[in-house]
Structure 1
Amino acid sequence: MKKFLLVFFVAMLAGCMQNTTNVGKSQVDRSQLMLVSSDEINEVSAKAYNEVIAQAKASNTLNKDPKLTKRVRDISNKLIAKAPYFREDSVKWNWEVNVITSDTINAWCMAGGKIAVYTAIVEKLKLNDDEIAFILAHEIAHALREHVREQQSQELVKNGLISVASMFGVDNTILGVANVAANVGISLPFSRSHESESDEIGLELSYMAGYNPDAAASLWRKMQEHSGDGGFEFLSTHPSHESRIENLEKLAAKLKTGK
Protein backbone atom coordinates (compact mmCIF):
# COMPACT_ATOMS: atom_id res chain seq x y z
CA MET A 1 0.00 0.00 0.00
CA LYS A 2 2.85 2.38 0.83
CA LYS A 3 4.43 1.69 -2.54
CA PHE A 4 1.11 2.27 -4.29
CA LEU A 5 0.61 5.56 -2.49
CA LEU A 6 4.13 6.62 -3.40
CA VAL A 7 3.59 5.89 -7.09
CA PHE A 8 0.21 7.64 -7.13
CA PHE A 9 1.48 10.63 -5.17
CA VAL A 10 4.42 11.12 -7.51
CA ALA A 11 2.06 10.83 -10.49
CA MET A 12 -0.15 13.51 -8.97
CA LEU A 13 2.86 15.75 -8.44
CA ALA A 14 3.84 15.25 -12.07
CA GLY A 15 0.50 16.69 -13.10
CA CYS A 16 1.49 19.93 -11.39
CA MET A 17 4.89 20.25 -13.07
CA GLN A 18 4.02 22.80 -15.75
CA ASN A 19 5.69 25.31 -18.00
CA THR A 20 4.07 28.22 -19.80
CA THR A 21 3.28 28.20 -23.51
CA ASN A 22 2.36 31.31 -25.49
CA VAL A 23 -1.25 31.72 -26.64
CA GLY A 24 -1.02 35.40 -27.48
CA LYS A 25 -3.77 37.59 -26.03
CA SER A 26 -6.14 34.84 -24.87
CA GLN A 27 -7.87 35.46 -21.57
CA VAL A 28 -7.29 31.80 -20.68
CA ASP A 29 -4.25 31.90 -18.41
CA ARG A 30 -2.61 28.79 -17.02
CA SER A 31 0.76 27.09 -17.31
CA GLN A 32 1.29 23.94 -19.34
CA LEU A 33 3.68 21.00 -19.21
CA MET A 34 5.55 20.87 -22.53
CA LEU A 35 8.20 18.16 -22.90
CA VAL A 36 7.62 17.54 -26.61
CA SER A 37 8.60 20.23 -29.11
CA SER A 38 6.09 21.99 -31.35
CA ASP A 39 8.09 20.96 -34.40
CA GLU A 40 7.82 17.28 -33.47
CA ILE A 41 4.06 17.45 -32.91
CA ASN A 42 3.50 19.46 -36.11
CA GLU A 43 5.57 17.02 -38.15
CA VAL A 44 3.70 13.99 -36.83
CA SER A 45 0.35 15.75 -37.30
CA ALA A 46 1.14 16.71 -40.91
CA LYS A 47 2.11 13.12 -41.69
CA ALA A 48 -1.05 11.72 -40.09
CA TYR A 49 -3.20 14.30 -41.89
CA ASN A 50 -1.67 13.47 -45.25
CA GLU A 51 -2.46 9.81 -44.66
CA VAL A 52 -6.10 10.61 -43.87
CA ILE A 53 -6.40 12.77 -46.98
CA ALA A 54 -4.74 10.10 -49.14
CA GLN A 55 -7.19 7.48 -47.86
CA ALA A 56 -10.13 9.80 -48.54
CA LYS A 57 -8.89 10.39 -52.09
CA ALA A 58 -8.47 6.67 -52.65
CA SER A 59 -12.03 5.98 -51.46
CA ASN A 60 -13.45 8.94 -53.40
CA THR A 61 -14.77 10.58 -50.24
CA LEU A 62 -12.66 13.76 -50.32
CA ASN A 63 -14.47 17.04 -51.06
CA LYS A 64 -17.20 15.31 -53.09
CA ASP A 65 -19.66 18.14 -52.54
CA PRO A 66 -18.11 21.37 -53.94
CA LYS A 67 -20.84 23.53 -52.40
CA LEU A 68 -20.32 22.14 -48.88
CA THR A 69 -16.53 22.25 -49.27
CA LYS A 70 -16.66 25.93 -50.25
CA ARG A 71 -19.02 26.65 -47.36
CA VAL A 72 -16.72 25.03 -44.81
CA ARG A 73 -13.59 26.64 -46.26
CA ASP A 74 -15.16 30.11 -46.38
CA ILE A 75 -16.10 29.84 -42.69
CA SER A 76 -12.69 28.41 -41.82
CA ASN A 77 -10.86 31.22 -43.59
CA LYS A 78 -12.73 33.84 -41.55
CA LEU A 79 -11.71 32.05 -38.36
CA ILE A 80 -8.10 31.53 -39.48
CA ALA A 81 -7.82 35.27 -40.20
CA LYS A 82 -8.61 35.96 -36.52
CA ALA A 83 -6.47 33.14 -35.05
CA PRO A 84 -3.32 35.32 -34.66
CA TYR A 85 -5.20 37.33 -32.01
CA PHE A 86 -4.78 34.29 -29.79
CA ARG A 87 -1.52 32.92 -31.20
CA GLU A 88 0.64 35.18 -33.33
CA ASP A 89 2.70 32.42 -34.95
CA SER A 90 -0.43 30.75 -36.35
CA VAL A 91 -0.16 33.15 -39.28
CA LYS A 92 2.81 31.05 -40.42
CA TRP A 93 0.99 27.72 -40.19
CA ASN A 94 0.31 25.78 -43.37
CA TRP A 95 -3.45 25.64 -42.85
CA GLU A 96 -5.46 23.01 -44.72
CA VAL A 97 -9.24 22.50 -44.75
CA ASN A 98 -10.93 19.44 -46.24
CA VAL A 99 -14.36 17.83 -46.09
CA ILE A 100 -14.68 14.04 -45.95
CA THR A 101 -17.88 12.16 -46.76
CA SER A 102 -18.57 10.00 -43.73
CA ASP A 103 -21.41 8.91 -41.44
CA THR A 104 -19.24 9.83 -38.45
CA ILE A 105 -20.33 12.98 -36.64
CA ASN A 106 -16.98 14.63 -36.15
CA ALA A 107 -14.62 17.47 -37.02
CA TRP A 108 -11.06 18.07 -35.90
CA CYS A 109 -8.02 20.29 -36.25
CA MET A 110 -4.58 18.76 -35.84
CA ALA A 111 -1.55 20.66 -34.63
CA GLY A 112 -0.36 23.22 -37.15
CA GLY A 113 -3.83 23.91 -38.58
CA LYS A 114 -4.81 20.68 -40.34
CA ILE A 115 -8.63 20.67 -40.42
CA ALA A 116 -11.09 17.94 -41.44
CA VAL A 117 -14.87 18.09 -41.31
CA TYR A 118 -17.00 14.97 -41.81
CA THR A 119 -20.19 15.53 -43.79
CA ALA A 120 -22.41 13.87 -41.17
CA ILE A 121 -21.83 16.55 -38.56
CA VAL A 122 -23.25 19.18 -40.93
CA GLU A 123 -25.94 17.09 -42.60
CA LYS A 124 -27.30 14.97 -39.74
CA LEU A 125 -27.35 17.86 -37.29
CA LYS A 126 -28.55 20.34 -39.95
CA LEU A 127 -26.00 22.93 -38.87
CA ASN A 128 -26.27 26.57 -39.89
CA ASP A 129 -23.15 28.65 -40.63
CA ASP A 130 -22.92 30.00 -37.07
CA GLU A 131 -22.96 26.47 -35.63
CA ILE A 132 -20.37 25.27 -38.15
CA ALA A 133 -18.23 28.27 -37.20
CA PHE A 134 -18.31 27.36 -33.52
CA ILE A 135 -17.41 23.69 -34.01
CA LEU A 136 -14.54 24.72 -36.30
CA ALA A 137 -13.39 27.43 -33.90
CA HIS A 138 -13.51 24.96 -31.01
CA GLU A 139 -11.29 22.53 -32.91
CA ILE A 140 -8.94 25.31 -34.00
CA ALA A 141 -8.65 26.35 -30.35
CA HIS A 142 -7.27 22.90 -29.48
CA ALA A 143 -4.46 23.55 -31.98
CA LEU A 144 -3.87 27.12 -30.85
CA ARG A 145 -3.56 25.96 -27.25
CA GLU A 146 -1.38 22.95 -28.23
CA HIS A 147 -3.49 20.47 -26.32
CA VAL A 148 -2.09 17.46 -28.20
CA ARG A 149 1.44 18.51 -27.32
CA GLU A 150 0.43 18.94 -23.70
CA GLN A 151 -1.29 15.54 -23.54
CA GLN A 152 1.71 13.80 -25.07
CA SER A 153 3.97 15.46 -22.50
CA GLN A 154 1.74 14.27 -19.68
CA GLU A 155 1.76 10.73 -21.02
CA LEU A 156 5.57 10.79 -21.15
CA VAL A 157 5.72 11.77 -17.49
CA LYS A 158 3.07 9.29 -16.35
CA ASN A 159 4.49 6.33 -18.28
CA GLY A 160 8.03 7.22 -17.25
CA LEU A 161 7.13 7.27 -13.56
CA ILE A 162 5.39 3.91 -13.76
CA SER A 163 8.38 2.42 -15.60
CA VAL A 164 10.73 3.69 -12.91
CA ALA A 165 8.52 2.21 -10.19
CA SER A 166 8.60 -1.14 -11.99
CA MET A 167 12.39 -1.05 -12.05
CA PHE A 168 12.36 -0.63 -8.27
CA GLY A 169 10.27 -3.76 -7.83
CA VAL A 170 6.76 -2.37 -7.39
CA ASP A 171 4.27 -5.19 -8.09
CA ASN A 172 2.61 -5.14 -11.56
CA THR A 173 -0.86 -5.36 -10.02
CA ILE A 174 -0.18 -2.28 -7.93
CA LEU A 175 1.20 -0.50 -10.99
CA GLY A 176 -1.96 -1.35 -12.92
CA VAL A 177 -4.16 0.12 -10.20
CA ALA A 178 -1.91 3.17 -9.99
CA ASN A 179 -2.22 3.70 -13.73
CA VAL A 180 -6.02 3.59 -13.58
CA ALA A 181 -6.00 5.96 -10.61
CA ALA A 182 -3.72 8.36 -12.46
CA ASN A 183 -6.05 8.28 -15.50
CA VAL A 184 -9.12 9.08 -13.40
CA GLY A 185 -7.30 11.57 -11.18
CA ILE A 186 -5.19 13.35 -13.79
CA SER A 187 -5.72 12.52 -17.46
CA LEU A 188 -9.52 12.58 -17.68
CA PRO A 189 -10.08 15.81 -15.76
CA PHE A 190 -7.28 17.37 -17.75
CA SER A 191 -9.00 16.42 -21.00
CA ARG A 192 -12.21 17.96 -19.72
CA SER A 193 -10.32 21.16 -18.96
CA HIS A 194 -9.04 21.12 -22.54
CA GLU A 195 -12.61 20.95 -23.78
CA SER A 196 -13.72 23.83 -21.57
CA GLU A 197 -10.70 25.87 -22.62
CA SER A 198 -11.43 25.27 -26.30
CA ASP A 199 -15.06 26.21 -25.76
CA GLU A 200 -14.00 29.55 -24.30
CA ILE A 201 -11.34 30.35 -26.88
CA GLY A 202 -13.41 28.95 -29.73
CA LEU A 203 -16.50 30.94 -28.83
CA GLU A 204 -14.53 34.18 -28.70
CA LEU A 205 -12.78 33.29 -31.98
CA SER A 206 -16.08 32.66 -33.80
CA TYR A 207 -17.56 35.85 -32.32
CA MET A 208 -14.58 37.87 -33.53
CA ALA A 209 -15.09 36.39 -37.01
CA GLY A 210 -18.66 37.74 -37.03
CA TYR A 211 -20.68 34.69 -35.99
CA ASN A 212 -23.53 34.49 -33.47
CA PRO A 213 -22.19 33.24 -30.10
CA ASP A 214 -25.61 31.78 -29.21
CA ALA A 215 -24.96 29.14 -31.88
CA ALA A 216 -22.56 27.32 -29.56
CA ALA A 217 -25.31 26.33 -27.13
CA SER A 218 -27.72 25.49 -29.96
CA LEU A 219 -25.07 23.21 -31.49
CA TRP A 220 -24.72 21.27 -28.26
CA ARG A 221 -28.48 20.98 -27.87
CA LYS A 222 -28.48 19.27 -31.26
CA MET A 223 -25.59 17.05 -30.11
CA GLN A 224 -27.51 16.19 -26.97
CA GLU A 225 -30.64 15.37 -28.92
CA HIS A 226 -28.70 13.14 -31.26
CA SER A 227 -26.55 11.29 -28.75
CA GLY A 228 -28.84 11.21 -25.70
CA ASP A 229 -27.34 11.14 -22.23
CA GLY A 230 -23.57 11.53 -22.42
CA GLY A 231 -23.00 9.44 -19.29
CA PHE A 232 -21.28 10.38 -16.06
CA GLU A 233 -19.14 13.46 -16.52
CA PHE A 234 -16.56 12.28 -13.95
CA LEU A 235 -15.49 9.37 -16.17
CA SER A 236 -15.61 11.25 -19.44
CA THR A 237 -13.09 13.27 -21.40
CA HIS A 238 -15.88 15.69 -22.32
CA PRO A 239 -18.07 17.78 -20.02
CA SER A 240 -21.70 16.70 -19.74
CA HIS A 241 -24.08 18.23 -22.29
CA GLU A 242 -25.96 20.09 -19.57
CA SER A 243 -22.93 21.72 -17.96
CA ARG A 244 -21.45 22.53 -21.36
CA ILE A 245 -24.59 24.23 -22.62
CA GLU A 246 -24.92 26.22 -19.39
CA ASN A 247 -21.31 27.38 -19.60
CA LEU A 248 -21.59 28.31 -23.28
CA GLU A 249 -24.70 30.37 -22.59
CA LYS A 250 -22.86 32.28 -19.87
CA LEU A 251 -19.83 32.85 -22.11
CA ALA A 252 -22.04 34.04 -24.98
CA ALA A 253 -23.81 36.50 -22.70
CA LYS A 254 -20.47 37.92 -21.55
CA LEU A 255 -19.28 38.38 -25.14
CA LYS A 256 -22.48 40.14 -26.20
CA THR A 257 -22.48 42.50 -23.22
CA GLY A 258 -18.73 43.06 -23.32
CA LYS A 259 -18.41 42.22 -19.61
Structure 2
Amino acid sequence: MMNKTALITGASSGIGRHTAIALSKAGWNVVITARRLEGLNETKSLCASPDACLTVAGDITEENFVLELFARSVEKFGRLDLLFNNAGMSSPQVPIEESSMDIFRKVIDVNLVAAFVCTREAVRQFKLQSPPGGRIINNGSLSAHVPRPFSYAYTMSKHAIHGLTKCTSLDGRPHNIACTQIDIGNAATEMASRLGRGALQPDGRVSPEPMIDVQHVANMIVHVAGLPLDVTVLDLNIMPTTVPFVGRG
Protein backbone atom coordinates (compact mmCIF):
# COMPACT_ATOMS: atom_id res chain seq x y z
CA MET A 1 0.00 0.00 0.00
CA MET A 2 2.94 2.34 0.55
CA ASN A 3 3.33 2.71 -3.21
CA LYS A 4 -0.25 3.92 -3.70
CA THR A 5 -0.90 7.63 -4.10
CA ALA A 6 -4.12 9.59 -3.63
CA LEU A 7 -4.88 13.16 -4.67
CA ILE A 8 -7.56 14.91 -2.60
CA THR A 9 -9.06 18.28 -3.53
CA GLY A 10 -10.56 20.58 -0.92
CA ALA A 11 -8.29 19.05 1.72
CA SER A 12 -7.73 22.06 3.96
CA SER A 13 -10.73 21.17 6.14
CA GLY A 14 -13.81 18.98 6.52
CA ILE A 15 -14.28 15.76 4.57
CA GLY A 16 -11.14 16.35 2.50
CA ARG A 17 -8.96 16.76 5.57
CA HIS A 18 -10.39 13.72 7.37
CA THR A 19 -10.05 11.60 4.23
CA ALA A 20 -6.43 12.63 3.72
CA ILE A 21 -5.61 11.73 7.31
CA ALA A 22 -7.45 8.39 7.08
CA LEU A 23 -5.72 7.44 3.82
CA SER A 24 -2.36 8.43 5.30
CA LYS A 25 -2.99 6.20 8.31
CA ALA A 26 -3.86 3.37 5.90
CA GLY A 27 -0.44 3.70 4.29
CA TRP A 28 -1.17 5.86 1.27
CA ASN A 29 0.92 8.71 -0.08
CA VAL A 30 -1.36 11.75 -0.24
CA VAL A 31 -1.36 14.87 -2.36
CA ILE A 32 -3.59 17.52 -0.83
CA THR A 33 -4.76 20.70 -2.48
CA ALA A 34 -6.96 23.67 -1.64
CA ARG A 35 -6.67 27.43 -1.80
CA ARG A 36 -5.58 27.89 1.84
CA LEU A 37 -1.95 26.85 2.39
CA GLU A 38 -2.32 27.31 6.15
CA GLY A 39 -5.17 24.80 6.25
CA LEU A 40 -3.25 22.35 4.05
CA ASN A 41 -0.22 22.55 6.33
CA GLU A 42 -2.46 21.79 9.31
CA THR A 43 -3.89 18.77 7.48
CA LYS A 44 -0.36 17.62 6.65
CA SER A 45 0.69 17.88 10.29
CA LEU A 46 -2.14 15.50 11.22
CA CYS A 47 -1.19 12.85 8.66
CA ALA A 48 0.51 9.66 9.78
CA SER A 49 3.55 10.36 7.63
CA PRO A 50 4.04 14.04 6.75
CA ASP A 51 6.96 13.03 4.51
CA ALA A 52 4.49 11.09 2.37
CA CYS A 53 2.21 14.11 2.04
CA LEU A 54 2.58 16.75 -0.68
CA THR A 55 0.76 20.08 -0.29
CA VAL A 56 -0.03 22.10 -3.39
CA ALA A 57 -2.05 25.27 -2.77
CA GLY A 58 -4.02 26.87 -5.56
CA ASP A 59 -7.32 27.32 -7.35
CA ILE A 60 -8.57 24.12 -9.02
CA THR A 61 -10.97 26.11 -11.19
CA GLU A 62 -7.85 27.30 -13.05
CA GLU A 63 -6.83 24.76 -15.70
CA ASN A 64 -3.13 25.65 -15.63
CA PHE A 65 -3.03 25.08 -11.88
CA VAL A 66 -4.61 21.64 -12.28
CA LEU A 67 -1.97 20.71 -14.89
CA GLU A 68 0.76 21.79 -12.46
CA LEU A 69 -0.91 19.90 -9.61
CA PHE A 70 -0.91 16.60 -11.47
CA ALA A 71 2.62 17.09 -12.80
CA ARG A 72 3.98 17.74 -9.30
CA SER A 73 2.07 14.76 -7.89
CA VAL A 74 3.57 12.34 -10.40
CA GLU A 75 7.01 13.91 -10.09
CA LYS A 76 6.90 13.38 -6.31
CA PHE A 77 5.38 9.90 -6.07
CA GLY A 78 5.81 8.37 -9.54
CA ARG A 79 2.16 7.50 -10.20
CA LEU A 80 -1.42 8.21 -9.18
CA ASP A 81 -3.89 5.60 -7.93
CA LEU A 82 -6.80 7.64 -6.60
CA LEU A 83 -8.42 11.00 -7.24
CA PHE A 84 -10.98 12.21 -4.71
CA ASN A 85 -12.94 15.07 -6.30
CA ASN A 86 -14.03 16.56 -3.01
CA ALA A 87 -13.78 20.35 -3.32
CA GLY A 88 -17.14 22.07 -3.35
CA MET A 89 -19.10 25.12 -2.31
CA SER A 90 -22.71 25.84 -1.49
CA SER A 91 -24.74 28.95 -2.22
CA PRO A 92 -27.26 31.11 -0.33
CA GLN A 93 -30.74 29.58 -0.19
CA VAL A 94 -32.74 32.23 -2.02
CA PRO A 95 -35.50 32.09 -4.64
CA ILE A 96 -34.20 31.79 -8.20
CA GLU A 97 -35.25 35.35 -9.05
CA GLU A 98 -32.86 36.58 -6.34
CA SER A 99 -29.93 34.44 -7.51
CA SER A 100 -26.90 36.18 -9.02
CA MET A 101 -25.02 34.92 -12.06
CA ASP A 102 -21.75 35.52 -10.22
CA ILE A 103 -22.61 33.06 -7.44
CA PHE A 104 -24.10 30.59 -9.91
CA ARG A 105 -20.93 30.53 -12.02
CA LYS A 106 -18.68 30.19 -8.95
CA VAL A 107 -20.65 27.16 -7.71
CA ILE A 108 -20.59 25.51 -11.14
CA ASP A 109 -16.87 26.25 -11.56
CA VAL A 110 -15.89 24.74 -8.20
CA ASN A 111 -18.35 21.85 -8.02
CA LEU A 112 -18.40 20.77 -11.67
CA VAL A 113 -15.81 22.37 -13.93
CA ALA A 114 -12.94 21.68 -11.52
CA ALA A 115 -14.08 18.07 -11.10
CA PHE A 116 -14.19 17.66 -14.88
CA VAL A 117 -10.66 19.01 -15.39
CA CYS A 118 -9.25 16.94 -12.52
CA THR A 119 -10.99 13.84 -13.88
CA ARG A 120 -9.56 14.51 -17.34
CA GLU A 121 -6.02 14.75 -16.00
CA ALA A 122 -6.42 11.72 -13.72
CA VAL A 123 -7.67 9.58 -16.61
CA ARG A 124 -4.77 10.81 -18.75
CA GLN A 125 -2.30 9.75 -16.04
CA PHE A 126 -4.07 6.44 -15.35
CA LYS A 127 -3.70 5.49 -19.02
CA LEU A 128 -0.04 6.52 -19.24
CA GLN A 129 1.35 4.85 -16.14
CA SER A 130 2.47 1.26 -15.73
CA PRO A 131 0.56 -0.71 -14.71
CA PRO A 132 -2.30 1.38 -16.07
CA GLY A 133 -5.47 2.13 -14.14
CA GLY A 134 -6.78 3.94 -11.11
CA ARG A 135 -9.87 5.00 -9.23
CA ILE A 136 -11.84 8.23 -9.01
CA ILE A 137 -14.26 9.02 -6.19
CA ASN A 138 -16.60 11.97 -6.70
CA ASN A 139 -18.15 13.74 -3.74
CA GLY A 140 -21.80 14.00 -4.71
CA SER A 141 -24.56 14.87 -2.26
CA LEU A 142 -28.06 13.91 -1.32
CA SER A 143 -28.84 16.88 -3.55
CA ALA A 144 -27.59 14.85 -6.52
CA HIS A 145 -30.94 13.08 -6.22
CA VAL A 146 -33.40 15.33 -4.36
CA PRO A 147 -33.02 19.10 -3.87
CA ARG A 148 -33.38 21.25 -0.81
CA PRO A 149 -35.53 24.38 -1.18
CA PHE A 150 -33.91 27.24 -3.09
CA SER A 151 -30.75 25.37 -4.10
CA TYR A 152 -30.59 25.71 -7.88
CA ALA A 153 -26.84 26.12 -8.42
CA TYR A 154 -25.74 23.52 -5.89
CA THR A 155 -28.35 20.94 -6.90
CA MET A 156 -27.66 21.40 -10.62
CA SER A 157 -23.93 20.95 -10.04
CA LYS A 158 -24.43 17.75 -8.05
CA HIS A 159 -26.85 16.26 -10.59
CA ALA A 160 -24.15 16.92 -13.19
CA ILE A 161 -21.56 15.11 -11.06
CA HIS A 162 -23.78 12.04 -11.38
CA GLY A 163 -23.37 12.28 -15.16
CA LEU A 164 -19.60 12.72 -14.81
CA THR A 165 -19.44 9.62 -12.61
CA LYS A 166 -21.36 7.47 -15.08
CA CYS A 167 -19.37 8.69 -18.10
CA THR A 168 -16.08 8.05 -16.32
CA SER A 169 -17.19 4.60 -15.24
CA LEU A 170 -18.30 3.74 -18.77
CA ASP A 171 -15.29 5.08 -20.64
CA GLY A 172 -12.87 3.84 -18.00
CA ARG A 173 -13.84 0.18 -18.37
CA PRO A 174 -11.29 -0.72 -21.07
CA HIS A 175 -8.50 1.06 -19.16
CA ASN A 176 -8.81 -0.42 -15.66
CA ILE A 177 -10.35 2.83 -14.36
CA ALA A 178 -13.10 2.63 -11.74
CA CYS A 179 -15.34 5.48 -10.62
CA THR A 180 -17.58 5.95 -7.59
CA GLN A 181 -19.94 8.69 -6.45
CA ILE A 182 -20.37 9.01 -2.70
CA ASP A 183 -23.50 10.92 -1.70
CA ILE A 184 -22.99 12.26 1.81
CA GLY A 185 -25.76 13.54 4.00
CA ASN A 186 -25.22 15.79 7.00
CA ALA A 187 -21.64 14.99 7.98
CA ALA A 188 -20.57 17.22 10.87
CA THR A 189 -18.16 19.57 9.10
CA GLU A 190 -17.74 23.33 9.15
CA MET A 191 -19.60 23.60 5.83
CA ALA A 192 -22.59 21.48 6.92
CA SER A 193 -22.78 22.34 10.63
CA ARG A 194 -25.61 24.82 10.04
CA LEU A 195 -27.91 21.89 9.21
CA GLY A 196 -27.60 20.66 12.77
CA ARG A 197 -28.71 24.07 14.05
CA GLY A 198 -31.62 24.41 11.67
CA ALA A 199 -32.30 23.55 8.04
CA LEU A 200 -35.04 24.97 5.84
CA GLN A 201 -37.65 22.30 5.08
CA PRO A 202 -39.99 22.21 2.05
CA ASP A 203 -42.97 23.21 4.19
CA GLY A 204 -41.21 26.38 5.35
CA ARG A 205 -40.17 25.16 8.80
CA VAL A 206 -36.57 25.50 9.96
CA SER A 207 -35.68 22.34 11.85
CA PRO A 208 -32.42 20.93 13.25
CA GLU A 209 -31.36 17.80 11.35
CA PRO A 210 -29.34 14.83 12.61
CA MET A 211 -25.63 14.76 11.85
CA ILE A 212 -23.01 12.01 11.63
CA ASP A 213 -19.34 12.03 12.59
CA VAL A 214 -17.29 12.86 9.48
CA GLN A 215 -14.89 10.05 10.39
CA HIS A 216 -17.48 7.52 9.18
CA VAL A 217 -17.32 9.15 5.76
CA ALA A 218 -13.54 9.05 5.68
CA ASN A 219 -13.52 5.39 6.69
CA MET A 220 -15.97 4.57 3.88
CA ILE A 221 -13.78 6.31 1.31
CA VAL A 222 -10.70 4.42 2.53
CA HIS A 223 -12.62 1.16 2.12
CA VAL A 224 -13.66 1.92 -1.46
CA ALA A 225 -10.17 3.18 -2.30
CA GLY A 226 -8.69 -0.12 -1.10
CA LEU A 227 -10.83 -2.30 -3.36
CA PRO A 228 -9.11 -3.99 -6.31
CA LEU A 229 -9.76 -2.22 -9.60
CA ASP A 230 -11.87 -5.07 -10.92
CA VAL A 231 -14.39 -4.19 -8.18
CA THR A 232 -16.34 -0.93 -8.24
CA VAL A 233 -19.04 0.78 -6.23
CA LEU A 234 -20.84 3.06 -8.68
CA ASP A 235 -23.12 4.81 -6.18
CA LEU A 236 -22.65 4.99 -2.42
CA ASN A 237 -24.78 6.80 0.14
CA ILE A 238 -23.92 7.55 3.76
CA MET A 239 -26.16 9.64 6.03
CA PRO A 240 -27.84 9.68 9.44
CA THR A 241 -30.52 7.00 9.71
CA THR A 242 -33.14 9.61 10.60
CA VAL A 243 -32.21 12.32 8.12
CA PRO A 244 -35.22 13.66 6.15
CA PHE A 245 -34.05 12.47 2.73
CA VAL A 246 -36.36 9.63 1.69
CA GLY A 247 -39.65 11.42 1.13
CA ARG A 248 -38.06 14.84 1.06
CA GLY A 249 -40.41 17.37 -0.49
| TM-score (ref. length: structure 1) | 0.30
Name the structure with the higher strand share.
2
Name the structure with the higher helix share.
1
Q: Which has the higher contact order (CA 8 A, sep 6+)?
A: 1
